[in-house]
Amino acid sequence: MSLREFYAPHYTVTDPAEGERLGRWRALGAANKAAHVAALHPSAGAVVEIGCGDGALLAALRGFAPVFDGFELSAPAASLARKTLPDARRIEPFDGAEVPAEDGAYDLAILSHVLEHVPVPRPLLAEAARVARAVLIEVPLEDNRSAARPGKRAEAASIGHLHFFSRAAVRELVDGAGLVREAELTDPLPRAHHAFFASTLGARAAATAKWGLRAAAHRVAPQSCEAWFTVHYAVLARRP
């Protein structure tokens, strides 16, 4: 099965209630990702998101830049993104390898939760650096004890994760693409993220406890806790 075929069902949910729930889940994640973008690169003139999905992140970034483009492997996802972002300049499917834009066309290229899905990430990262002066990468750091559990690995595989990155692995990838790291952050994610799928009072209490423990550990020893549980890692890099 090709990657395009794998992702098509994720954006063609026929049950309206489930579609609405997945939309809210993506919007919640997009709000966090947009905050990370703004923290690392406060403004830009032209932005491209490579692997834009249904456009949730670009929608959350409205007002951040005057020009937005998005390119997406999944045609159904690109169609949803066009409906979400009628004011975007270009929202188009692409082949997942070559971005249909000129060299240096953008101030910022965003690869948010994309590289863990790509069989060989470095060429796509280099392509992002070709079309933009700065590149912002975000991935989950899943090289840890919690994410190594068989159930967690199966869950990650079901949504297409092919790589389980550590901070060091992402840095090596960025450096190997000839980019200079400029700024970075990690996020253990807010309570709303951990509690989103909790449907009972007990499950919500457990999610709150999980969030509280992780948030406290992250405040005290942010890099050390990456060996125990998953955080989201965003890094801004530029061409030298």
Q: Which two tokens stand for residue 174?
A: 């960025």
Q: Answer whether residue 240 shows pLDDT above 60.
A: yes
Residue 136, domain member (yes or no) = yes
The pLDDT mean for the chain works out to: 93
User: What's the whole-number mean pLDDT along residues 17-25?
Assistant: 84
User: How many CA atoms lie within 13 Å of 206's alpha carbon, on the beta-carbon side?
Assistant: 7
Assessment of whether the complete model's pTM goes beyond 0.85? yes
Pairing mode, strands 231-238 and 180-187: antiparallel
Q: Answer whether residue 1 shows pLDDT above 80.
A: no
**The predicted structure's pLDDT at residue 9:** 65
pLDDT > 70 fraction of the chain, expressed in percent and rounded: 95
The residue ranges of DSSP E strands in the chain, in sequence order, are: 46-50, 67-72, 90-93, 106-112, 132-141, 180-187, 231-238
89-118 residue pLDDT tens:
999 999 999 999 999 999 999 999 999 999
25-70 residue pLDDT tens:
889 999 999 999 999 999 889 999 999 999 999 999 998 999 999 9
pLDDT grade, residue 17 (50/70/90)?
A: confident
Q: How buried is 86 (Cβ within 10 angstroms: 0-12 exposed, 13-18 middle, 19+ buried)?
A: exposed
Q: Which two tokens stand for residue 56?
A: 């949730």
In whole angstroms, what is the distance from residue 1 CA to residue 157 CA?
14
User: What's the whole-number mean pLDDT along residues 179-205?
Assistant: 94
Residue 147, domain member (yes or no) = yes
**The predicted structure's pLDDT at residue 6:** 61
113/1: higher pLDDT:
113
Residue 200, domain member (yes or no) = no
Residue 129, domain member (yes or no) = yes
Q: Which two tokens stand for residue 140?
A: 């989950």
**The predicted structure's pLDDT at residue 23:** 83
Residue 149, domain member (yes or no) = yes
Q: Answer whether residue 235 shows pLDDT above 90.
A: yes
Residue 105, domain member (yes or no) = yes
Residue 206, domain member (yes or no) = no
59-72 residue pLDDT tens:
999 989 999 999 99
In whole angstroms, what is the distance from residue 108 CA to residue 69 CA?
11
- Nearest Cα residue to 70 out of 34, 9, 54: 54
Query: Residue 63 sits in which domain range?
Result: 3-188+228-238
42/6: higher pLDDT:
42
In whole angstroms, what is the distance from residue 106 CA to residue 95 CA?
19
pLDDT > 90 fraction of the chain, expressed in percent and rounded: 83
**The predicted structure's pLDDT at residue 16:** 80
Q: What is the CATH number of the domain that holds 120?
A: 3.40.50.150
Residue 103, domain member (yes or no) = yes
Domain count for the chain: 1
Q: Answer whether residue 228 shows pLDDT above 60.
A: yes
DSSP bridge pairs for 231 = 141
In whole angstroms, what is the distance from residue 124 CA to residue 190 CA?
30
